[in-house]
Chains A and B, each alone.
Chain A
Amino acid sequence: MKKKIGIIGGGISGTALGYNLSLYDDADVTIYEKDRIGCGTTSKSAGTVCLFDDSLNNRYWDVRLYGFETYMKMEREEKGSAGFDKTGTLVCALSEKDERRIKTGIALARAAGYTGEYITDKERIKAILPMLNTDAIIGAGYTKDDGYFDGTMISNNFAAKMTANGGKIITGVRVTAINAEGGTAKSVTTDAGDTEAYDVIVDCTGPWSRFTGAMLDLDVPIWHTKAEAFFLAPAENLDYIFPVLKFPAFYALRAGNNIFICKSHLSMDLDNPMHAGQWDPDKLPERGGTDDYFIEFLYEQMEKDVPGLVDAGLSSSWLSYRAETRDFLPIIGETPIKNYLLATGYGGNGVIEAPAVSRDLAKYIMRGESTLLIEEWAFSRLWKK
């Protein structure tokens, strides 16, 4: 008898989990996506999976590596299928603490067979990215081996692999109720009027998780932080490879002839109403919606660190919500409601973390075997706080 698993949400979290579950021959997996695969928060992700930066603590560096190598395998299977752009990454250190973290990341990347070096010669740093002002930088980590991916393409790739393995995807249908009996989740009901029973139901709805959890009176401790992204059209032609550029407060990457730039998720303050709150992601506009304060932030940062972008044209912008927990780590696994699990709260790291989390969570669901990741990122750590 197969174990029936219903996954709510068809972004990077839901599709990666669906694919990993579909690798078990005794799993019967269904994903419910209210719109299209990978079209929500995932579609607004920058998709950077850098070998070393501050987006995820070096404690979890293997998570980063596993994500990177998963997508590189996709690229080897079919070139372009993960949307990889091998631009390399330049990670700037403004303090000795940054420097130590970057150097550790470089050592770990090199241990895994990738290149990486820490550069203190400012002329060399400027040679990599000429529009940079290096005055505030004490050094920079650089690798040519990584870059950024496309979260939507990856989600669709996972979804295709999952269906090839017998999984089922239902799009354009919204889950309207999660039905529980005696503290155990039993089934989901959709706006198509169908109710389907499951052995396990997993919330992979990211910024929607509060609403999803509310269907079971479960308070999912997720805050929305604003991911305000701008596309800048540089005044000068970029006749060089623009690497993913990481500063502690923001990151940038080349997107066609534009530069995509966004505030880093770890720089967000959950207690600052300009940064964070609890909102309705369904009310996000397709474009625009950014705040004036972000223009000021961006202007100050660019004037100081990347003056070549101060007179770049603002070609477009968007706002999306990251799903963040108080400790900026995801919530994975069991909840107080039996058979109702979470794979949410990835914040700005869904593309980085989803492969390793999904691998571990699929094993936990199918075999009951926990892992260090499942234990450290368990919901229970947040109850204690």
Chain B
Amino acid sequence: MEIDDAKGAKPLRLAICVKHVPTCDDIEVDEATGRIRRADAECDINPCDLNAMEMANALKKSVADAGGATIMAFSMGPDGALASLKKCLALGADEAYLLSDRKFAGCDTLGTARVLAHFLKAKGPFDVIFMGEMASDGATGQVGPMTAALLGVPDVISVATISCGERAGQFIVEQHIAEGVRRLLVKSPMVVTVPFGVNQPKLPTLRMQMRANKIAIPVLTASELSADELARLAPKSIVTSTRAIGTHAQAELIEGDAKAIAAKIRELVEGGRQHV
């Protein structure tokens, strides 16, 4: 990828890759196949992808008076993923692309990274590519680093903040590590993966949602990949089963009139204090 070397003169080009996932309270495992049932599940944008989007927006805002920035959103998945892309547009992305084809359907994490890398190259160059650190359904955390490796660019995981450095093409990246926060100076292009909860994602406004509804989202298909690239999408790993873990939390229904319920709550709270 080329590096834009004129920060301030040329707008930053930012990309974000998001996944459309079953909502947390709607994940079910098909006992027969051992796979997550996605077809009937209610889906939404992967939670930490919203943190990534917020970070991309913050970077865009920080350069508003210095050349500005554009954000391009990508999602690989079936038509339902359009909803997550639309959310990105409502949150401030300028363009969005759905990467959708039956030939992508069986991809493992490496195949997904290959597809993303292909289209990021095709639509690039990008200064920074944002991704959520891991999907709430698969939870592998592999796609971001794999995409970076395939693009031949640095990958910074667990990113808390990103801002422009003193020199063009340099970014100051703060990264969560076990001991605290590490500050890095990273030369673009790069992939950053963003964990859940590092910032407070804003809500799309009615005005922005209205704007998003008017932006067409092109669908990019496998026809744009070479035969060699398609052959490499064959999965190297197969999920053989997924097992739901039963919760160990015990819920107790508190019944009675308001006074009885209040007394029970007080008893539980005071009992809890004694355990502190």
Q: Using a CB–CB distance below 8 Å, which chain A residues touch chain B?
A: 78, 232-233, 235, 285-288, 292, 295-296, 298-299, 302, 309-315
Contact = CB atoms under 8 A, between A and B. Distances in A.
Interface in B12-52: 23, 26, 42, 44
Contacts of A298: 206
B206 A314 contact: yes
B44 A288 contact: yes
Contact of A314 (B26, B83, B204): B204
29 contacts: A78-B258, A232-B206, A233-B203, A235-B205, A285-B42, A287-B23, A287-B42, A288-B42, A288-B83, A295-B206, A295-B209, A295-B210, A295-B213, A296-B210, A298-B206, A299-B207, A299-B209, A302-B206, A309-B206, A310-B206, A310-B207, A313-B203, A313-B205, A314-B90, A314-B204, A314-B205, A314-B206, A314-B209, A315-B203
A114 to B, nearest CB: 28
A310 B204 CA distance: 11
Size range of the interface on B? 10 to 19
A203 B207 CA distance: 42
Nearest to B25: A286
A39 to B, nearest CB: 15
The 7 closest A-B CB pairs, nearest first, are A313-B203, A299-B210, A292-B213, A311-B205, A285-B42, A310-B207, A295-B209
Contacts, number: 45
Given A78-B258, A285-B42, A311 B203 contact: no
Looking at chain A's contact residues, the main secondary structure is mixed
Contacts of A296: 210, 213
Nearest to A231: B203
A235 B202 CA distance: 11
A313 to B, nearest CB: 3
Contacts of B42: 285-288
A370 B213 CA distance: 52
Interface of B: 23, 26, 42, 44, 83, 90, 202-207, 209-210, 213, 258
A295 to B, nearest CB: 5
Nearest to A289: B42
A312 B213 contact: no
Contacts of B213: 292, 295-296
A235 B207 CA distance: 12
Nearest to B202: A313
Contacts of B26: 286
B206 A311 contact: yes
A179 B202 CA distance: 54
Contacts of A285: 42
B212 to A, nearest CB: 9
A299 B203 contact: no
Nearest to A313: B203
Contacts of A313: 202-205
Contacts of A295: 206, 209-210, 213
Nearest to A300: B210
